[in-house]
Each structure stands twice: as C-alpha cells, then as structure tokens.
Structure 1
Amino acid sequence: MSQGVEFNRLMLDMRSMQMDAMATPKAISTPEIGASSFADMLGQAVNKVNDTQQASNQLSNAFEIGKSGVDLTDVMISSQKASVSFQALTQVRNKLVQAYQDIMQMPV
C-alpha cells in the first residue's frame, strides 16, 4: 500500500511541476540600480591606472628633490607598477577595439 501512496504523491508532484511550467512566464528582472556596468568598471580601471601613475610621478619628484625617507628602490618599484598597469590597460583597449572590429565585420 505504501507504494501506491508514494506513486500518487509522485504523480501529484509531477502535475504540480507541469502546472508551474505551463503558467505565464515570469518577467525578466532588470539589473539592480546599484549594479555596475562594464563601462563603469572600465572607467574605474582607467582611474586606478591614472592614480598609480600620479603616485609614481610624485614619488619620483620627491626622490629628485632629495626628500628624506624616499628610497630609490621605492621609486623604481612604483615606476614599474605604473608601467605594468598602463601596459595591461593598453592591452585591454586593444582587445576591446579588436572585438568591436570583429562585431562590425560580421555579416547581418
């Protein structure tokens, strides 16, 4: 008898799922207002690279005028960080331009 009850329960569950599937589709949710877009993230990355370059420039100027507490190693590390971040940003730009060109060349 328990198999009959389990079978009936299974059939009820399947009908319930079928009814849910046949129900009107739910509205697609819109992105949250607080969610950041790709353009925002790219702008933040550009600003971060700019900040890194400015910090490197300030550290370099401080070393050149002989400010105490500024080592050559700190200046070189900061300069390399700025250089690497700029090169990475340049590569991202190149990939974006290439992707745009690929999309524009697609047949309609």
Structure 2
Amino acid sequence: MKINSFVPDTKIFTDGLKPKQFVNIEEEPSVGFGDLLKKELSKVNDKQLEAEGSAISFIKGDMDLHQTLVATEEARLSLELAVQIRNKLVNAYEEFNKMQV
C-alpha cells in the first residue's frame, strides 16, 4: 500500500493571518430608539390617513372598492401591529421595574 504525501496549500493558513478590515460603526449616524419609534408611528398615522382618503375617494366614485379595501386593511394591520408592539414594550418595562438591584 502506497501513501501519497499531502502538502496543504499554505494560502489557507496565511489568509487567516492578514488583518481584517473592520467597519467603523461611529461613522454612521446613530438613530435613537425614540426617533425610530416616532418614525414608525408616523408611518402608521400616514396609513390611517391614506385609508381615510381612499374611503372618501370611494364615496365620490374616484376609487375602486378593492383599492379602498386594500388601503383600509393595510391601515388596520399596521395599527394592530403598533398596538401589539406597545403592549410588548409595556410588559418589558413592567418586568424591568420588577427586577431587584
């Protein structure tokens, strides 16, 4: 039985020794949680206003029923999601306050 010698490629080992390039996180503008929450709540409000506008357009005869239903359903779902997120945040806040230091 003949065993062939195996010489690994040295590139495999030298690639790990090269310094990695890291992305500087500080370069990107940081967005606070409050700002993010305000932005998302503004989007929910915009959906609600859009649904109201589509209902008025439907009454006037400018918009089809299915477009109105889609807009109102999107608004309903976005509001429901916002309420669920609020509930989770309130629960997390209450749990945080129950912690003993």
Asked if these proteins are the same fold (TM beyond 0.5), I'd say yes
Matched, 1:91 2:101: no
**Corresponding residue for residue 73 of structure 2:** 80
Matched, 1:44 2:55: no
**Corresponding residue for residue 61 of structure 1:** 56
Q: Output the CA distance in 2 between the equivalents of 1:45 and 1:32.
A: 24
The runs of at least 4 consecutive aligned structure 1 residues that moved more than 2 Å come to 30-34
Q: Output the CA distance in 1 between the equivalents of 2:69 and 2:44.
A: 16
What is the deviation of 1:35?
1.3
Sequence identity, in percent? 32
**Corresponding residue for residue 16 of structure 2:** none
Highest CA radius of gyration, 1 or 2?
1
| Larger helix fraction of residues | 1
Structure 1 gap ranges (5+): 1-29
Per-residue Cα deviation, 1:10-62 (whole angstroms, up to 9, x for no partner)? xxxxxxxxxxxxxxxxxxxx956821111111110100000011001001011
Q: Output the CA distance in 1 between the equivalents of 2:88 and 2:81.
A: 11
| 1:91 alignment partner, SS class | helix
- Residues paired across the two proteins, number: 78
Q: Output the CA distance in 2 between the equivalents of 1:44 and 1:73.
A: 28
Structure 2 gap ranges (5+): 1-24
| 2:100 alignment partner, SS class | coil
TM-score (norm 2): 0.71
